[in-house]
Amino acid sequence: MSWSPGRKQDNHKISRELFVLTYGALVAQLCKDYEKDEDVNTCLDRMGYGIGVRLIDDFLARSAVKKCRSYSETADMIAQVAFKTYLGITPSVSCSSAAGNEFSLILDKNPLVDFVEELPAERASLCYSNLLCGVIRGALEMVHLAAEVTFLQDRLKGDAVTEIGITFLRKPEDRKHKR
């Protein structure tokens, strides 16, 4: 049996669609299990955190990236390498603070919502893709960067763009080894 050049791309598309549909089923089940959107959001964030903690090893092994020297390099690495590798998209990055510790990732397309038209009215405070925030937070924590990661805007809620905010909470410490 011969493989056509486009075969790998077809398999990738099928895998992505399966992941998106499975994620949608997960969110739907969580909405049935929890009455409050805040509880669903917390659960998605916790799940994402666990994924991020484990995913960082794979990311570092696959990408062979060097240590980032600044928060802006880290934000660019998340957008240009991590999102591209795992979701097939490249968000734009903007710095939103004079201190240089707050960044926004603007997603032109959010693959997790490919099959979602809108949120039900009774679920207006649901952060459907909150898993992404947990993944980013967990991965950053594993490389010793504490961060707060939240959805600032969401197209599913009628906003013009989907925007994830990352606020780095403290400066990386220069560690000197004692002998």
- Residue 117 has what pLDDT? 85
In the structure encoding, which two tokens stand for residue 105, read together?
């990732």
What is the pTM assigned to this prediction?
0.86
- Residue 96 has what pLDDT? 80
Strand pairing category for 102-107 and 147-153: unpaired
Number of domains in the chain: 1
Q: Give the CATH number for residue 71.
A: 3.30.1380.20
Is 5 among the domain residues?
A: no
Q: What are the residue ranges in the chain where pLDDT is below 70?
A: 1-14, 171-179
Is 25 among the domain residues?
A: yes
Is 1 among the domain residues?
A: no
For 59-89, the pLDDT digits (tens) are 999 888 889 999 999 999 999 999 999 998 9
Is 154 among the domain residues?
A: yes
- Residue 122 has what pLDDT? 92
Per-residue CA distances from 104 to 24, 138, 140, 163, 168 (Å) = 25, 17, 15, 6, 11
3-class state of residue 153 by DSSP: strand
Residue 21: domain span: 16-118+125-168
Alpha carbon distance 81, 62 (integer Å) = 10
- Residue 53 has what pLDDT? 96
Is 173 among the domain residues?
A: no
